[in-house]
């Protein structure tokens, strides 16, 4: 799966279905899950295969937030069941202020954000812990 177009509020993906060997294509759908990379909950959108089963497929996800990084993954479903999810790709929408090219990015941007959040959390917890310890020791010495 790859990004073939992006805007401030949407991303268009393309992929080519592959066969599992079962040749079960009746009612084959693809589910694209996506979320802003700093959030937990996945959103899903279903897409039905159009054309021949090995033709490249495209899907558009809209109503996205401008200038945001999204984690995106996909699974295929048919009458037998669901495939494993693809590896997560990180993609971005265009920002409001400029027309920077969006597309597939490395996971480094998401990792940097998550590390910054972790460090901030540790600092806040450290300060809170110090205040609690100081309060406990101060009350005990009276």
Query: In the chain, how many domains are there?
Result: 2
Tell me the pLDDT tens digit for each residue of 88-111.
999 989 887 765 544 555 566 667
Tell me the pLDDT tens digit for each residue of 36-67.
988 999 999 998 877 666 778 889 999 999 98
Q: Are residues 31 and 70 in the same domain?
A: yes
What is the span of the domain harbouring residue 131? 106-142
- Does the pTM of the predicted model rise above 0.75? no
Q: Are residues 55 and 16 in the same domain?
A: yes
Q: Are residues 50 and 27 in the same domain?
A: yes
Q: DSSP assignment of 62-111, as one string? A: -SPPTT-EEEEEEEEE-SS-BPPPPPPEEEEPPPSS------EE-THHHH
Q: Are residues 131 and 61 in the same domain?
A: no
Q: Are residues 71 and 111 in the same domain?
A: no
Q: Are residues 10 and 78 in the same domain?
A: yes
């Amino acid at each position: 799966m790859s990004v073939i177009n992006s805007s401030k509020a949407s991303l268009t993906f393309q992929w080519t279905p592959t066969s599992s060997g079962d040749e079960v294509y009746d009612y084959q759908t693809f589910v694209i899950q996506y979320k802003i990379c700093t959030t937990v909950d996945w959103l899903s959108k279903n897409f039905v295969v159009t054309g021949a089963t090995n033709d490249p497929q495209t899907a558009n996800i809209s109503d996205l937030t401008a200038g945001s990084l999204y984690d995106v993954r996909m699974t295929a479903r048919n009458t037998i069941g669901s495939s494993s999810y693809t590896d997560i790709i990180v993609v971005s929408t265009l920002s409001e202020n400029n027309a920077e090219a969006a597309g597939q990015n490395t996971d480094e941007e998401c990792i940097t954000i998550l590390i910054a959040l972790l460090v901030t959390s540790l600092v806040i917890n450290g300060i809170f812990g110090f205040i609690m310890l100081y309060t406990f020791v101060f009350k005990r010495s009276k």
